[in-house]
Amino acid sequence: MTRGEHQIQKTYGDQYETRFEHVLRTDAEDVTAQVIKAYVQVVKPSIKDYLPKRQELISSATTFFVEAMKALAR
């Protein structure tokens, strides 16, 4: 965007957001894939360690969900 003719620079500047989004969609790992990957690598192998704390985990997850919904409602 800093080299070439003025018209080419303007075109690249106008298309910057579209081009950047395209790069992210084609070359970056999306959030869902990152969450699934983290679960498979970290949580799933040690899931048996969490079973005794099942009620605590469910309570924490419920609290987290409720707070997230409140934040979205604002």
Domain-located, residue 39: yes
For residue 39, the one-letter residue type is: Y
Domain-located, residue 29: yes
Q: In which band, very low, low, confident or very high, does the pLDDT at 38 lie, cut at 50, 70 and 90? A: confident
- According to the model, what pLDDT value does residue 2 have? 64
Domain-located, residue 13: yes
Domain-located, residue 55: yes
Contact 13, 1 (CB under 8 A): yes
19: containing domain: 6-73
Domain-located, residue 1: no
The pLDDT of residue 1 is above 70: no
pLDDT digits (tens, 9 = 90+) for 18-36: 988 888 888 877 778 888 8
Number of domains in the chain: 1
Q: Which has the closest alpha carbon to 16: 28, 5, 33, 1?
A: 1
Per 3-state DSSP, the chain is made up of helix, strand and coil in percentages (nearest 5) of: 85, 0, 15
